[in-house]
Amino acid sequence: MSSVLTTTSVPDQDRVAYWNDAVNRTLVPVAVTPHGDGLFDARIVTNRLGYLQVSTMEADAERVSRTPALIARSSEALVAVGVQISGTATFIQDGRRAEVGEGDLVVCDRSRPYSFDYPQRFATHVFQLPRRMLGVPDSDIRQVTGHAIGTRSGFGAVLLPFLASLAASPDAYPPAVADRLAGNVVDLFATLITERAHPSGTDAEDTARSHLLLRVRDHINRNLSDPDLSPESIARAHRISIRYLHRLFEGEGTTVGRLIQKRRLEECGRELARRGRTAPTVSAVAQRWGFVNPAHFSRAFRAAYGVSPREWRNLRTLQDDVALSPVGRPVPSSMVADRPRADLAPSRG
């Protein structure tokens, strides 16, 4: 549901104070100073798209500034991408000054001081999100602030119509669709930032993809014991579409599902190989690492390593016994014949 804050019904003498409070509560703490002494008119409409906040702001000429003291009042590091709909602005951040025209994009890091000066009435879309969701280095973000990004060609030309359409009706999507859209928007923002930060010698999309891929692999390793770990749950956790998740792994020589199973089998293999007075059962090990069906686990283990989980445990125990026994102790030939090849043993990396 949209939140609409407007000065229309506010008494003339209270409008500036009302607008300062509205912008502070909706976006981040800033100081807003109108140009001139006439009647001030402004309006901001805000919606949520998953964890992405989408606002459209219209106001008379004003100056907006964010100082270190105002930044200290914020609890979370945020980044905003602005789309200038009408009017112009002078944007200053990180020692750079940009003249922003209609259709231009800007990236603003809310955790560092900045200012926007609007010399006449203007309108802008503001997409605001937690900085941590971008998955790009802070150094890349710092390189693109204080610049106006044109949208007549390149990636900006692709991004502008999509953002304009999204801002026009951000509340038109059910929650599940909104979450996926938010993830796709953030992926596009990450690509935009990387492209601008590395204009030559680096494939921007590949760089953004590598950051996200590392996050996905880490998520898989931390959640192997969860039986509900799946491409769907991973995509949901990272606010991306399942289709985009599968695209991430196109050059990895595996799929998301196969990687999950491989890592689970490796952990099961390590645990089954451990010696101990009270070793857990094969089914207990399987369940601990996310396998719900014992029969499926046994088939998958044999397909990967050439022996059943029980045979794997016996073989590793036998190997340990041989290492501890006197030289010359015979080893049953049947066990030697069933010993898994070295290249099939679970890796220790």
* String of DSSP letters for 309-336: HHHHHHHHHHHHHHHHSPTT----HHHH
In DSSP terms, 148 is beta-bridged to none
Residue 348 predicted with pLDDT over 50: no
Q: What is the pLDDT of residue 22?
A: 97
Interacting residues of 316 by C-beta distance below 8 A, sequence separation 6+: 272, 273
Residue 125 predicted with pLDDT over 50: yes
pLDDT above 70 coverage of the chain, percent: 87
Bigger pLDDT: 248 vs 277: 248
Bigger pLDDT: 278 vs 42: 42
pLDDT above 90 coverage of the chain, percent: 53
Q: Are 190 and 212 in contact (CB under 8 A)?
A: yes
Q: What is the pLDDT of residue 318?
A: 62
Query: What is the C-alpha R_g of the chain?
Result: 28
Q: For residue 169, give Cα distances in angstroms to 25, 220, 280.
A: 22, 34, 55
- The pLDDT-based confidence of 274 (bands split at 50, 70, 90) is confident
338: its two tokens: 């069933």
φ, ψ for residue 164 (rounded to 5)? -65, -40
Largest CA distance in the chain: 101
Task: Please state which of the ranges 240-244, 311-315, 344-348 shows the lowest mean pLDDT.
Answer: 344-348
pLDDT digits (tens, 9 = 90+) for 193-204: 988 887 764 454
- The pLDDT-based confidence of 277 (bands split at 50, 70, 90) is low
Residue 258 predicted with pLDDT over 90: yes
- The pLDDT-based confidence of 325 (bands split at 50, 70, 90) is very low
244: its two tokens: 């985009």
Q: Are 154 and 100 in contact (CB under 8 A)?
A: no
Q: Where are the domains of the chain?
A: 3-171, 216-344
Q: Which amino acid is at 142?
A: R
Residue 123 predicted with pLDDT over 50: yes
Q: For residue 44, give Cα distances in angstroms to 54, 161, 222, 231, 342.
A: 10, 21, 41, 38, 65
pLDDT digits (tens, 9 = 90+) for 72-92: 998 889 999 999 999 999 999
- The pLDDT-based confidence of 333 (bands split at 50, 70, 90) is very low
Task: Please state which of the ranges 105-119, 162-176, 315-329 shows the lowest mean pLDDT.
Answer: 315-329
pLDDT digits (tens, 9 = 90+) for 149-186: 998 877 788 888 889 888 988 777 888 788 888 888 88
- The pLDDT-based confidence of 349 (bands split at 50, 70, 90) is very low
Q: What is the pLDDT of residue 335?
A: 36
For domain 3-171, the CATH architecture is Sandwich (2.60)
Q: Rounded distance, CA 108 to CA 149, Å?
A: 12
What b/e string do you get for 98-129 counting C-beta neighbours within 10 Å, with b at 16 or more? bebeebbbbbbbbbbbbbbbbeeebbbbbbbb
CATH of domain 216-344: 1.10.10.60
